[in-house]
A and B are shown apart, each in its own frame.
Chain A
Amino acid sequence: MITMNKVSKHYGSFQVLADCTTHVNKGEVVVVCGPSGSGKSTLIKCVNGLEPFQSGEITVNGVSVGDPQTNLSKLRAHVGMVFQNFELFPHMSIAQNLTIAQIKVLGRDKAEAEVKGMQLLDRVGLRAQALKYPGQLSGGQQQRVAIARALAMDPICMLFDEPTSALDPEMINEVLDVMTELAQEGMTMMCVTHEMGFAKRVAHRVVFMDHGRIVEDDHKDAFFANPSSERAQQFLAKILQH
């Protein structure tokens, strides 16, 4: 579904990504982790072209992201993305947040978009909040709405960029539960996250990054039981203590 081949990116002389090669198969859940500043978020934003990259190739469902001929808007319409800071549109109601792109991008009519939006709100347990505005919801609720908004576009895969990092601890699980359910239904997912419990339970593979490089790319059991690089061992030792 997603392939990356020797993707590199630099800001001036600063190398953000160096020769990153990995893939996500259809129906697979891949967790990307690593210390902050290691390039995880940049990597995932390259997948839907929100961040440009200088060399290498990324394809999503066979379409090359870096190719100037590619219609990126069309590609993004079917690649769901969930952001660290939710990024709901604060001037629109929850219902409008869920329908705007369906109507303006996919060309669905309003009634159809509303039905779809309400189904997904129901699914994330927030049907009752449809008429509220994002500012009236808790962080966890906002993030669930953001997931529903992405799902409303019928995505072929989902990208999660640290979806729980901006949440209070007691709200993390409600978001992870939605993500777990999604994974169990067979959604193709690429998740940048520090939630190692989620990775252990749900992921198929774990990609570990450091200084813009993919240091490990392994089946999750192998990664947690026996990380091959010293950097990953240190990272796990720190993060798994608590």
Chain B
Amino acid sequence: MYEFDWSSIPGSLPLLAKGMGVSLEITFTAIVVGIVWGTLLAMMRLSSVKPLAWFAAGYVNVFRAIPLVMVLLWFFLIVPNLLESLFGIPRGSDMRLGSAIAGFALFESAYYSEIIRAGIQSVPKGQMAAAKALGMSYGQAMRLVVLPQAFRNMVPLLLTQAIILFQDTSLVYVSALADFFGTAAKIGDRDGRLVEMLLFAGAVYFVLCFAVSQLVRYYQKKLKTA
């Protein structure tokens, strides 16, 4: 029978917290960039200018058809070299975090753009017509009337996507970046207590994600009664 030994956890909490910091940094940056870039992609896709619509459709389809872990590896292997040669950044500087964030942001944008596109389409067409009838330009109508309503409807889906994104950040282990999961695995290896460490890490992921998903449910109920 396996004997559990949790004693190495308390001492490693500072390191684990640092790892969590990396995971959260990737998550939040990817959410912010993903929503901004995703909104632009969604508007391009709905635009009547055909080349813009094609570009956005192509982008979304490509990123949704490739496994995330491959995107991360490419960014880990290619982007640092590219930046080094473009901006003369000294060789060997650690760009794992930067390339991981870039990879996540561009990948998640594709998913966010589909959520946002559905959100924009969920706003009745009459709203755009009413805004235009008042003399607003397309941009004003979008910014002041359509998008605020679209985002209000989308909050639950955006948060759900954020949960998935947070879990997916554990995939940065392919670049040996010390995120929460990577740190836990390393410490577990070091102390010969991998099982305990990974169980603990799993519990932390569960608590955080479950809490946010409860928040989503609460918000959805509120949205229904409003």
A residues sitting closer than 8 Å to B (CB atoms) are 45, 48, 50, 72-74, 76-81, 83, 85, 87-91, 100-101, 104-106, 135, 149-150, 153
Size of B's binding interface in residues, CB under 8 A: 19
Which residues of chain A are within 8 angstroms of B131 by Cβ–Cβ distance? 89, 101
Cβ-neighbour of A50 out of B132, B136, B149, B226 (below 8 A): B132
Given contacts A80-B133, A104-B144, 4 further A-B contacts (CB under 8 A): A76-B133, A77-B135, A83-B129, A91-B148
Distance to closest chain B CB from A176 (angstroms):
21
Cβ-neighbour of B132 out of A73, A85, A149 (below 8 A): A73
**Contact sample, A vs B, 12 pairs, CB 8 Å cutoff:** A76-B134, A76-B135, A77-B135, A80-B133, A83-B129, A87-B126, A87-B130, A89-B131, A91-B149, A101-B135, A105-B135, A135-B226
A106 to B135, CA, bound (A): 9
A132 to B189, CA, bound (A): 60
Distance to closest chain B CB from A218 (angstroms):
29
Would you call A105 and B129 a contact (CB within 8 A)? no
Interface of B is mostly: helix
Which residues of chain B are within 8 angstroms of A78 by Cβ–Cβ distance? 135
> Is B140 among interface residues, defined by CB-CB distance under 8 A?
yes
> Is B221 among interface residues, defined by CB-CB distance under 8 A?
no
**Contact of A85 with B134 at beta-carbon distance under 8 Å, contacts A100-B144, A104-B140 already known:** no
A12 to B132, CA, bound (A): 25
Distance to closest chain A CB from B147 (angstroms):
10
**Contact of A89 with B145 at beta-carbon distance under 8 Å, contacts A104-B140, A105-B140 already known:** yes
Which residues of chain A are within 8 angstroms of B145 by Cβ–Cβ distance? 89
Would you call A48 and B133 a contact (CB within 8 A)? yes
Binary contact track B114-143/A, C-beta < 8 Å → 1, others 0 = 000000000010110111111111001000
Would you call A77 and B134 a contact (CB within 8 A)? yes
Interface centre among B124, B132, B135, B140 (most CB of A within 10 A): B135
Would you call A105 and B133 a contact (CB within 8 A)? no
A81 to B130, CA, bound (A): 8
Closest A residue by C-beta to B125 = A87
> Is B91 among interface residues, defined by CB-CB distance under 8 A?
no
Closest B residue by C-beta to A78 = B135
Which residues of chain B are within 8 angstroms of A50 by Cβ–Cβ distance? 129, 132-133
**Contact of A76 with B140 at beta-carbon distance under 8 Å, contacts A83-B126, A91-B152 already known:** no
Which residues of chain A are within 8 angstroms of B135 by Cβ–Cβ distance? 73-74, 76-78, 101, 105-106, 153
Would you call A73 and B136 a contact (CB within 8 A)? yes
Would you call A90 and B149 a contact (CB within 8 A)? yes
Distance to closest chain B CB from A194 (angstroms):
19
Which residues of chain A are within 8 angstroms of B130 by Cβ–Cβ distance? 81, 83, 87-89
A78 to B135, CA, bound (A): 8
Distance to closest chain A CB from B146 (angstroms):
10
Which residues of chain A are within 8 angstroms of B152 by Cβ–Cβ distance? 91
A89 to B124, CA, bound (A): 11
Distance to closest chain B CB from A200 (angstroms):
28
